[in-house]
A = this chain, B = another copy of it.
Amino acid sequence: MRVSIKDIALKCNLSVSTVSRALNGDYGVKSATRTSVMKVAKELGYVPNIAAKELVSQKSKLIGIILNESDGDGEARPAFFELLPHINKTLAIFNYRAIIYTINSNSYIRGEITDIINLRNLSGCIVVSVFRENHPIYEDIKSLNNPIVVLESSILTRICSNINTDEVMGGYMATRYLIDNGHKQIGFVNGPQNFEISNERFEGFQKAIEESQLQISDTAIIWSNYTGSGGKDSIHQLIQNNPAITAVFFANDLMAMGAISSMAESGILVPKDISIIGYDGLFVCKYYNPPLASVVIDNAAIGVRAAELLLELINGGSGKTVRVMPKLFEGKSVRKY
């Protein structure tokens, strides 16, 4: 049988209520009483029963982390796994813990996220995966009555914060970097059109192109799928239709890597024959061959900030938007003309 406050009360000749107050640092307990309670608790190896606390307080100190199941194969969005430890560590400082939930994006039914929260009385949750635009989960989030932080989205309510990279800026930075290095014939391999991030990165791309008054043919823009093999297919198509191309911006690193390794087999070298820049700043970029230029998303900062935003909401704060600036990693995959 585990030690309970009753055991402490018995040993201290006190009532359970006093012990409870002493243990929880409440006012109205003589300081001598408190020290003796603490001492006995330690001696007895007392561990509070969280289930009992939760039952009476109706709260849980548990945070849900919502993951899109398709991220699970490790290919789709590896960057999100870099977030997890940082979210977790920040939450742990305040004695919150994270439960991971995997949601199948295709079989999602309205209210699923509400059920998840209610079942374990979660204090809040963080949606780390990007779902396609107009995915029903976003409707649920908007009408939710629980604190929630959504990454890479712009949902903002009294009780929902969002944190995201400035994707337009990211797209702009990547394209600008190519232009600044003298490239004029530039291709863009993007993700699917029904993702907010794809469209924003595209907007940044366009901005940089227009600003420089470059002409980009329609065939130089490909809407792919954020996978390595998608990158591979796209680059060949791109080169075939645009033989004069000298640089390509891929909307994520995985597609860029798929393209580079595939081109190498055809004897096309990076950056000698063609320059490549990716997006995400995966930690493997710096060990890629060649080190892959990329728009770096600061996952550590986002993870910490997401957790902080959620804790703010839990403590009564109201929803806000936080925007994180991406950085450029130059790598060695872009040639200067």
A residues near B (Cβ < 8 Å) are 2, 47-52, 54-55, 60, 62, 67, 69, 71-75, 78, 81-82, 84-86, 88-89, 92, 97-102, 115, 118-121, 228, 231, 254, 257-258, 260-261, 264-265, 270, 282-284, 286-291, 299, 332
Contacts and interface: CB of A to CB of B under 8 A. Distances in A.
Contacts of A72: 85-86, 89
B102 A99 contact: no
A51 B54 CA distance: 6
A289 B82 CA distance: 23
A284 B92 CA distance: 31
A128 to B, nearest CB: 12
A334 B173 CA distance: 37
A273 B265 CA distance: 16
A49 to B, nearest CB: 7
A85 B99 contact: no
Contact of A49 (B55, B101, B257): B55
A189 B2 CA distance: 49
A126 to B, nearest CB: 12
Nearest to A116: B97
Contacts of A286: 228, 261
A69 B85 contact: yes
B74 A82 contact: yes
Contact of A84 (B54, B81, B284): B81
